[in-house]
Chain A
């Protein structure tokens, strides 16, 4: 599966499964949300104690395992790392803090839009603005430098950790937290969530679906390849919510959302900019991590810690709107991510042209 058909089909599968997962019990317009689900998993592990968002989400586990298995099979499993790992960790922290201000990762932003939540338009505008800023850095020579080959064993640990999470979910020992009310208590049966995750993981690995890549490539290269996947999710999820009856057009009273336009916008500026500097959206980081990209695994850990911070420090927005702490955190996040952008931009070290390849340049 490759080319335009592959990416459209993958988008359609993601859109369809997202709607189906809501039907089976996931929160409305949250069939899949990478950031929200990482946040729920952080809660399930007790890394934060927000009682309404605690559940080890099998969708994430399924995506990682599906991508891992298909990458092994197709020869794409390739263990590497060392491209500014701690910078990526910090970017992961702030991408999540930005996304939790908006209340959704780029994927949920599309699903919210598909479900008629017009607040997501402000999110999308912010996301595009953040991507545009990121492209300015890239065009000026921003780079986190290259990765290097690592031992194969290093690459097996991320899928192994995901497997451990699945075991914790199934065994449900007393030290794992499960919400009894709120979004964390709304979930599809484990087997359905896991299967949906596996399918999405496989399709996303094969087609390299990325929510930030669509708008980025359109701005940078006038390439609409990844954007067609983005559009396919939107169209299919829109039709799906019409059929299942969850479609509800408007700004007010949207599920797991608030209508503070400015902060919806700024939250997604942070998420968009951070994702461009990382080279991919939160979903793509999981797929890359499963393929053996250890920098993406470090980014995942940053997102997990960021999600824990977001609730321990009261940074995440809620249906009532953004918190004061959350606004401060988003501003700090924008400052930090811009500083990372500037500090890793070296105009002099632009493209090196020479007769021979300089190893390690």
Chain B
């Protein structure tokens, strides 16, 4: 099943993490988060990692896709 996606590009701190948190509350199996800067990438990665998720990062043009899954 394809994971739900969250577009957090261009958002200031801590919105990317907050959007990820809300998305994971609704679909605890995992989500894909789209960000466009390294600050958001690292913050979302740390947040999901702290919750025990696996985080896979791929670069897509200017953006980063974070695949967060169990």
Contacts and interface: CB of A to CB of B under 8 A. Distances in A.
A148 B37 CA distance: 12
A243 interface: no
Of B26, B37, B47, most buried by chain A (CB within 10 Å of CB) is: B37
A353 B42 contact: no
Contacts of B14: 138, 213, 216-217, 220-221, 279
Interface residues of B, number: 31
B12 A280 contact: yes
A127 to B, nearest CB: 17
A279 B12 contact: yes
A208 interface: yes
Given A221-B21, A357-B34, A210 B9 contact: no
Interface size bracket, A side:
35 or more
B46 A353 contact: no
B62 to A, nearest CB: 7
B18 A138 contact: yes
A335 interface: no
Contacts of A295: 12
A346 interface: no
Contact of A353 (B4, B38, B47): B4
Contacts of A213: 13-14
Interface in B1-21: 2, 4-7, 9-15, 17-19, 21
B13 A146 contact: no
B42 A208 contact: yes
A361 interface: yes
B10 A148 contact: yes
Interface of B: 2, 4-7, 9-15, 17-19, 21-23, 26-27, 34, 36-39, 42-43, 46-47, 50, 62
26 contacts: A78-B36, A78-B37, A83-B10, A83-B12, A143-B11, A144-B12, A146-B10, A146-B11, A147-B10, A148-B10, A216-B14, A220-B18, A221-B50, A223-B46, A280-B12, A350-B22, A351-B6, A351-B19, A351-B22, A351-B26, A353-B23, A353-B27, A356-B5, A357-B34, A358-B7, A361-B7
